[in-house]
Structure 1
Amino acid sequence: MSAALIFDIAPLGSLVAYSDGTPRPPARFTRKLAAWERRNGTGRLVRKEPARERPTYTSPPCFTLHEGSFGQNGIILVSVMRNYGIDSDLKFRVIERPRIGQVRVLQPVGDGVELLHLAESRVAAELWLARNRHHQAGIDEVTADEISADAVEGRAAA
């Protein structure tokens, strides 16, 4: 599916794969492999940003995928996030949607919200939030109404 469909119908917390459609090069071609990996991968949908119009530029709507965090001893040193505009030439597909009963920890950012953590239960989300203080963070539970509304409106992304 296109990036515009991911922006429109995939809920925050979805696991999304993206690809340019080219085959993976052999491991011995390290530069080609690194370039291929930048255009093929998976990530968790953590942010959707509407279009912005400023006096000097206009940016299309975009979304952010969190591809991973790297560190040691419980300390995250680097988080890999990639932004994609709805005009991206890559092909996307939703691998996994948040399940009913899972809980999103969300924080307002600009005109939208950012997913900080996807927990299995409300208790787990509250524990995570107690350990990781974030200003204005809130909890949003994935409900059956949210999932069924997507199915009724024909917006099922998975």
Structure 2
Amino acid sequence: MSAQLIFDLAPLGATVSYSDGTPRPPERFSKKLAAWENRNSGGRLIRKLSARKAGSAVLAASITLHEGDYGAQGVVVLTVHRSFSVDSDLKFAVTQCPAIGSVRILSRAGEDGELLHLADNRAAAEAWLTSHRHLGAILDGVTADEVAASAVEGRAAA
């Protein structure tokens, strides 16, 4: 599916993979493999930004994936986010939707909220929010209707 369909249908918290459709090169070609991995990976959908105007330029709508956290001994040193315009030439797929009943912790209310954490239930979300203190954060439960809306072309996107 396209990035536009991910933007339109996939719920925040879904696990999304992306690919350019080329086969993976052998391990011995380290530079080719690194370039391939740059265009063939995945992550958790944490943000959807609508098209917006910046001066005289119009910025296309985009999606942002959280690809990973890196560090040691429980200390995160680097967080990797990757954003894609909805007109990206890559192919996307929802590999897993958030479970019904799980709770998203969003940075703020409204369409521009970013997913900070996906908890298994409301109690776990409140505990996470207590220990991580984000001003303006809101809790948003995942509903069956929302997960069902991610069905595309007669089959479940997950």
TM-score clears 0.5: yes
- Separation in structure 1 between the aligned mates of residue 36 and residue 150 of structure 2, nearest angstrom: 33
Compared CA separation, residues 155 and 72, structure 1 to 2 (3 A) = same
CA-CA distance at 1:143 after TM superposition: 1.8
Q: Match of 2:82, as an amino acid?
A: R
Equivalent pair of 1:51/1:62 in contact (CA under 8 Å): yes
How large is the RMSD of aligned CA atoms in angstroms? 1.9
Instruction: Please show how residues 64-143 of structure 1 align to structure 2 within 5 Å.
Output: 64-108=64-108, 112-143=112-143
Identify unmatched segments of 5+ residues in structure 2: none
Superposition misfits of 4+ residues, deviation over 4 angstroms: 148-151
Identical counterparts, % of pairs: 57
CA-CA distance at 1:75 after TM superposition: 1.4
Equivalent pair of 1:105/1:116 in contact (CA under 8 Å): yes
Compared CA separation, residues 150 and 69, structure 1 to 2 (3 A) = closer
Other-structure match for 1:11: 11
- Separation in structure 1 between the aligned mates of residue 11 and residue 149 of structure 2, nearest angstrom: 12
Taking structure 2 as the reference length, what is the TM-score of the superposition? Answer: 0.91
Taking structure 1 as the reference length, what is the TM-score of the superposition? Answer: 0.91
CA-CA distance at 1:109 after TM superposition: 8.2
